[in-house]
C-alpha cells in the first residue's frame, strides 16, 4: 500500500500557488484495508475515503472505461492491481496528472511538469474525448491560468473541436454546464473560458445567446473595441478584477448585453432598447442551465437597468427612487452594491476606458442612504394612516434625494 499526493495540490505547488485541497491516491490497497485503518468511505461510484484525522480525500487507484454517452457513461475498476501510472492516465490534463510520493519525489509519466514550465494545457491521452465535461474543464482552467500565460495545446484544441463535431457536447447536462461556468466566472480571466469554448465550436451550442454577440458592431465613439463579443470579454475580466471570485457579479456581467444580438441590422451600430431586448434571451439561458434564482434575478436587473445607472447623474429624483425600489435597495443594500459593481465593470470594460471614474456609483449609494433615512414615525405622529403614509414617505424621499443632489452639485 503506497500513498501519493495527486492532482491540483501537486500542480499548484509547482506553480507557487496556495494549495487549498490535498487529494491522495492509494495504490495496492483494498477497501477493506482502508476501513480497517479507520478511513471513512464517501465514494458512490468508486472507493473514496476520508482520512480519520485530517479528513483529506484518499481514493483507491482506478481505471475507467467508456460505456456510453455523457459524464456518467463510464465503468470503473478500482483494486490493488491498478498502478499509479494507470490512475494518472485517466486524468484530463498533464498538469493534473502529476503525483508526489511521501518522500517528496515527483511521479510524472505524462510530462505535466514540462507543460507547467511551458505554460501549456495539454490532454493526457486520446481517451480525453470520452468525457464531455473535460471540454468545460479545459475552458475553466484556461480562465484560471491565462494570467500566467497558459494556452491550450493545438492538438488538445483539435480534440475539443472533435468532441463538438461528434456530438459529445450535446450530452452535457445543464447542472454540469452551470457548475463549470460558475467556477469559470470565479476565475481571474473568465474571458478565456469564452474564447476556448468559441474556438472549439461549443459556445454556439451551449451559450448561443452569448455566441451571437460576436461580430455585432457598436458605435466606435463609445466602444472603441467595436465588437460586442470583445466588449463582453472585457467586462467579464473587469468584473473579475473588481470582485475577485464573485460568480454572481460575473454572471451579471456575462448576460448584461444579450439584447445587442437582437438589434435590427438596419439600426446598427446603435442599440436603442437593447436593455429590454436582452431580458428574454437571459431568461431562456437561465432556465436552460437551471441558474440559481438570485443569479437570474440580479442579472435581469443589471440587464434592464444598467443604462439608468450610467445616466444616474441626470435622472430625476422620482426615477432614482424608482430604480432603488426596483433593486429593493432600501431594504437590501447589498443588492445595490452588486448592481453597481456590474455596472462599473460595463463602464470600464471598453478599450481605453479601463480606469474611468464612475461617480454614478457614489451618487446612487448616497441617494439610497438619504432615502432609507426616511421612516414612517413622523407621519404616524401626524395621524396619517394606510396608503397615506406610503405616499408621504415617497414624497419625502424624493425631496431628500433632490436636496442631496443640490448639495453635491450633480
Instruction: Say how far apart CA 232 and CA 252 lie, in whole Å.
Output: 11
Instruction: Say how far apart CA 89 and CA 95 lie, in whole Å.
Output: 12
Give per-residue pLDDT as tens, 310-354: 999 999 999 999 999 999 999 999 999 999 999 999 999 999 999
* 137 alpha carbon, distance to own chain's centre: 12
pTM above 0.85, yes or no: yes
Per-residue cell: 177: 454546464
Helix (H), strand (E) at residue 258: none
pLDDT at 345: 98
Instruction: Say how far apart CA 295 and CA 282 lie, in whole Å.
Output: 11
Q: How far is CA 191 from CA 119, 184, 369, 402, in A?
A: 18, 9, 35, 40
**Which segments of the chain have a pLDDT < 50?**
none
* 344 alpha carbon, distance to own chain's centre: 17
Helix (H), strand (E) at residue 242: helix 228-242
Helix (H), strand (E) at residue 149: none
- Beta-carbon neighbour count of residue 122 at 10 Å? 23
Instruction: Say how far apart CA 345 and CA 343 lie, in whole Å.
Output: 5
Instruction: Say how far apart CA 305 and CA 309 lie, in whole Å.
Output: 7
Query: Is 103 exposed, middle or buried, given 0-12, 13-18 or 19+ CB atoms closer than 10 A?
Result: exposed
User: Per CATH, the architecture of 1-111 is what?
Assistant: 2-Layer Sandwich (3.30)
Give per-residue pLDDT as tens, 123-143: 999 989 989 999 999 999 999
Residue with cell 505524462: 110
Q: Classify 164 as helix, strand or coil.
A: helix
Per-residue cell: 182: 460558475
- Beta-carbon neighbour count of residue 129 at 10 Å? 17
How would you label 359-377 residue by residue, b for 16+ Cβ within 10 Å and e otherwise? ebbebbebbbebbeebeee
User: Which of 312, 323, 300 is closest to 359 using CA atoms?
Assistant: 312
Structural contact between residues 213 and 207, judged by C-beta atoms closer than 8 angstroms? no
- Annotated domain spans of the chain: 1-111
Structural contact between residues 334 and 298, judged by C-beta atoms closer than 8 angstroms? no
Pairing, β 40-41 against β 106-107: unpaired
3 phi and psi angles, rounded to 5 deg: -115, 140
Q: How far is CA 409 from CA 44, 140, 311, 403, in A?
A: 64, 46, 15, 10
Per-residue cell: 291: 441558474
Amino acid at each position: 500500500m503506497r500513498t501519493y499526493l495527486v492532482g491540483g495540490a501537486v500542480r499548484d505547488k509547482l506553480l507557487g500557488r496556495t494549495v487549498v485541497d490535498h487529494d491522495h491516491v492509494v495504490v495496492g490497497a483494498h477497501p477493506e484495508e482502508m476501513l480497517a485503518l479507520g478511513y471513512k468511505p464517501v465514494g458512490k461510484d468508486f472507493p473514496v475515503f476520508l482520512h480519520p484525522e485530517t479528513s483529506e480525500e484518499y481514493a483507491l487507484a482506478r481505471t475507467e472505461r467508456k460505456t456510453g454517452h455523457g459524464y456518467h457513461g463510464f465503468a470503473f475498476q478500482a483494486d490493488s492491481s491498478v498502478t499509479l501510472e494507470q490512475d494518472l492516465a485517466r486524468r484530463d490534463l498533464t498538469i493534473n496528472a502529476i503525483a508526489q510520493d511521501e518522500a517528496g519525489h515527483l511521479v510524472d509519466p505524462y510530462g505535466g511538469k514540462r507543460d507547467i514550465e511551458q505554460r501549456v494545457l495539454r490532454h493526457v491521452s486520446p481517451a480525453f474525448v470520452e468525457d464531455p465535461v473535460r471540454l468545460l474543464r479545459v475552458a475553466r482552467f484556461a480562465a484560471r491560468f491565462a494570467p500566467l500565460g497558459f494556452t491550450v495545446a493545438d492538438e488538445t484544441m483539435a480534440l475539443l473541436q472533435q468532441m463538438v463535431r461528434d456530438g459529445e457536447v450535446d450530452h452535457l447536462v445543464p447542472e454540469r454546464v452551470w457548475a463549470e461556468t460558475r467556477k469559470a466566472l470565479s476565475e481571474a480571466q473568465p474571458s478565456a473560458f469564452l474564447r476556448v469554448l468559441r474556438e472549439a465550436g461549443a459556445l454556439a451550442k451551449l451559450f448561443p445567446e452569448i455566441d451571437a454577440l460576436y461580430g455585432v458592431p457598436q458605435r466606435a465613439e463609445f466602444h472603441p473595441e467595436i465588437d460586442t463579443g470583445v466588449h463582453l470579454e472585457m467586462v467579464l475580466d473587469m468584473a473579475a478584477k473588481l470582485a475577485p471570485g464573485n460568480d454572481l457579479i460575473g454572471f451579471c456581467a456575462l448576460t448584461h448585453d444579450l439584447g445587442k444580438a437582437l438589434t435590427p441590422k438596419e439600426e446598427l451600430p446603435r442599440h436603442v432598447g437593447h436593455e429590454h431586448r436582452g431580458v428574454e434571451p437571459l431568461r431562456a439561458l437561465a432556465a436552460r442551465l437551471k441558474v440559481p434564482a438570485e443569479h437570474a434575478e440580479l442579472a435581469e436587473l443589471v440587464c434592464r437597468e444598467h443604462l439608468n445607472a450610467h445616466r444616474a447623474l441626470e435622472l430625476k429624483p422620482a426615477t432614482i427612487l424608482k430604480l432603488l425600489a426596483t433593486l429593493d435597495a432600501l431594504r437590501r443594500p447589498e443588492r445595490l452594491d452588486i448592481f453597481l459593481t456590474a455596472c462599473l465593470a460595463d463602464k470600464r470594460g471598453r478599450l481605453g476606458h479601463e480606469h474611468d471614474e464612475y461617480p454614478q456609483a457614489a451618487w446612487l449609494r448616497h441617494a439610497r442612504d438619504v432615502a432609507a433615512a426616511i421612516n414612517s414615525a413622523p407621519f404616524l405622529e401626524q395621524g396619517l394612516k394606510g396608503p397615506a403614509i406610503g405616499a408621504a414617505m415617497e414624497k419625502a424621499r424624493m425631496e431628500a434625494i433632490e436636496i442631496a443632489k443640490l448639495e453635491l452639485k450633480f
